[in-house]
Amino acid sequence: MADLKTRIAKRCAKEFKDGYVANLGIGLPTMVSSFLPEGVHITIQSENGFTGLEGSVERGDENVEIINAGGGYVKASPRVNYFDSATSFGIIRGGHVDATVLGAMQVDEQGNLANWIIPGKMYAGMGGAMDLVVGAKEVIITMLHQQFNKKTGVSKPKILKECNLPVTALGVVDLIITEMCVIKVTDEGLLLTELHHDFTVEDVVAATEAHLTVSPDLKPYDISE
């Protein structure tokens, strides 16, 4: 599974342009900054009040005063800026974040996103996701294509006709990147634009509840350096 998440992070990193201001969510999205293409430099913004994150740190090198919004230890660049939460969310809500990368429990055909709670289970809460998905110029979802249930051994689609979990926001998702493929959310629905060589179009369709349109310009899933 770690290899699959690395694959997703590598592909997502190719979406960033030099000079981007980006916000990376908890978990898989934080891996993206480790795979930026050569010559691409981005400024990472964190909801808890800084720009200038350089990524995670090695065990033993942690600074307990520098953590990201998920509580993980991180390294700050020489150009780091610290500020209060009001300023941080002003940056987000003001449209100054070029892209946010988030995980998801569900995404549907309309680009609706559910990524904050499963009823009956304990979760930390919404966090900054609700603000990020409406404030960022681009919303990229990185996730495994299906949800595997360890008890039953059955995998269920996470890309649905309609979300059935509490929704974070409506119509906000621009791009979905999984280990199988890349899907663009359009006004006409979900467009399959890239396919990993380990899978066929039929594999992706079978793993997806939502209707997919295959792009006439379908490309190989690109994680080349």
Catalytic, out of 15, 38, 47, 62: 47
Q: How distant is the alpha carbon of residue 5 from its chain centre?
A: 11
Measured CA to CA, the distance from residue 17 to residue 21 in angstroms comes to 9
Measured CA to CA, the distance from residue 76 to residue 78 in angstroms comes to 7
User: Is position 179 annotated as part of the catalytic site?
Assistant: no
Active site residues: 47
